[in-house]
Structure 1
Amino acid sequence: MATDYDAPRKSEDDSESIEALKERVPNNQSGAGDVEDSDNPAAFELPGADLSDVEDVIVVLPAQDDEFTCMSCFLVKHRSQLDHDGPDGLICKECAA
Structure 2
Amino acid sequence: MARDFDARRSTDVEEDELQEQSLETLKAQRAGAAADLGDDMDALEAELDLPDAEVRDEELSLRVLPRQADEFTCTQCFLVQHRSQLADPRRIVCSDCAA
Common fold by TM > 0.5: no
- Judging by fraction of residues, say which structure has more strand: 1
Structure with larger Rg: 1
- Judging by fraction of residues, say which structure has more helix: 2
